[in-house]
Amino acid sequence: QKEVEQDPGPLSVPEGAIVSLNCTYSNSAFQYFMWYRQYSRKGPELLMYTYSSGNKEDGRFTAQVDKSSKYISLFIRDSQPSDSATYLCAMSWYQGAQKLVFGQGTRLTINP
Amino acid sequence: GAVVSQHPSRVICKSGTSVKIECRSLDFQATTMFWYRQFPKQSLMLMATSNEGSKATYEQGVEKDKFLINHASLTLSTLTVTSAHPEDSSFYICSGLNRGLYEQYFGPGTRLTVT
């Protein structure tokens, strides 16, 4: 079993839809949870960063962490074609950890 | 945000040759840099962690004699793939840990093709 599981998709939704992306994990020691966006043939860029359980909102993006269920989500409201990318969840044990454990990434396409 | 560059962005080499990839943090000091490998439609797999002035720490299963990492300064790390083979063809991505912010900033990646 992988430490972090993420449905690779692909996921295709119409413009303006609410998108829900999810990851599950098995290691309860994870404390920091991140979402990265990766455009084709580019490096990942950090979107959201959450510590422990709870919600965090940044513009159209909301990250949720449920440590009791070992489940994290990223919601994108009012999705735009420019949101089309691969979204990777990542986790670590402590702030500034030497190692991030990534999910497989979900390929998302927003159709105009 | 902090910027990390990689050079080259794309390289094609013949089997048996060596290839060097550079990773630079342009506007911050990266005491720690990471090298990842990403196969098509797969996630990033950490290969090694390098701290400035120290030997790199390799993940299990990564051959340190094949993937030579040097982190000579706070802004530059290099990955050399020695005696490359077609199975080494992949997308190599580096990241730098911004001291004080505890955030990894990723480079744009280098696509290596070994023929």
| pLDDT at residue B37, as a whole number | 95
Decide if B95 and A103 are in contact by the 8 Å CB cutoff: no
Query: What is the per-residue pLDDT across B47-95, written as a single tens digit (0 to 9) for each?
Result: 999 988 888 999 999 999 999 999 888 899 999 999 999 999 999 999 9
3-state secondary structure of B115: coil
pLDDT at residue B22 in the model = 97
Res A95 pLDDT > 70? no
Q: Which is it for the CA torsion B109, B92, B95, B22, positive or negative?
A: negative
Check whether the bond before A112 is cis (ω within 30° of 0).
no
Q: Which residues of B touch A95 (CB under 8 A)?
A: 102
CB contact under 8 A, A104 and B43: yes
Residue in A42, A46, A103 closest to B108 by CB? A42
**Quick check: A100 and B91 CB within 8 A?**
no
The helix or strand, by DSSP H or E, that contains position B67, with its residue range, turns out to be strand B67-73
Q: In this complex, how many residue pairs, one in chain A and one in chain B, have their CB atoms less than 8 Å apart? A: 53
Distance from CA of A105 to the nearest CA of B (A): 6
pLDDT value at position A98?
A: 63
**Residue B60 CB contacts under 8 Å (≥ 6 apart), including other chains:** none
Nearest CA to A99 among B52, B23, B79, B34? B34
What residues of A are in contact with residue B93 (Cβ under 8 Å)?
Answer: 43-44
Using CB atoms, pick whichever of B32, B57, B108 lies closest to residue A43: B108
Which tens digits make up the pLDDT trace of A45-65? 989 988 888 899 999 999 999
Question: What is chain B's mean pLDDT, rounded?
Answer: 91
Q: What is the pLDDT of residue B101?
A: 65
pLDDT at B39: 87
Neighbour tally for B51: CB within 10 Å: 16
The residue behind tokens 């840990």 is: B97
CA A89 to chain B, closest CA, distance in angstroms equals 10
Residue type present at position A105: G
* Contact yes or no for B43/A103 (Cβ under 8 A): yes
Q: Indicate yes or no: CB of A98 within 8 angstroms of CB of B95.
A: no
pLDDT band at A97 (very low <50, low <70, confident <90, very high): low
pLDDT at site A62? 97
| Model pLDDT for residues A1-16, shown as the tens digit of each residue | 788 999 888 999 999 9
B19: which 2 tokens?
A: 């290839």
- With residue B44 as reference, give the H or E element that holds it: strand B44-51
Under the banding of pLDDT at 50, 70 and 90, the label for residue B1 is: low
CA distance linking residue A1 with residue A68, whole number of Å: 19
Kindly indicate the confidence band of residue A19, based on its pLDDT and cuts at 50, 70 and 90. very high
Cβ A95 vs Cβ B102: under 8 Å: yes
Choice between B100 and B60, residue whose per-residue pLDDT is larger:
B60
Average pLDDT for A54-83:
95
Residue of B nearest to A34 (CA): B103
Average pLDDT, stretch B3-8? 94
Going by their DSSP bridges, the two strands B10-13 and B110-114 should be labelled as parallel
Residue window 23-52, chain B: list those with CB within 8 Å of chain A.
32, 34, 41-46, 49
CA angle (A83, A89, A91) in 5-degree steps: 150
Q: What is the mean pLDDT of residues A84-90?
A: 95
What are the pLDDT digits (tens) for B21-48? Answer: 999 999 888 888 999 999 887 888 999 9
Measure in Å the smallest separation between the Cα of B46 and chain A Cα atoms.
Answer: 8
Q: Count helices and strands (H / E) in chain A.
A: 0, 11
Cβ-based neighbour number of residue A97 at 10 Å: 16
Contact A14/A111 with Cβ under 8 angstroms? yes
Interchain CB distance below 8 Å, A44 and B103:
no
CA–CA distance, B81 with B67 (Å, rounded to integer)? 5
Specify the pairing of strand A85-92 against strand A61-66: unpaired
**Distance to chain A for B44, nearest Cα, Å:** 6
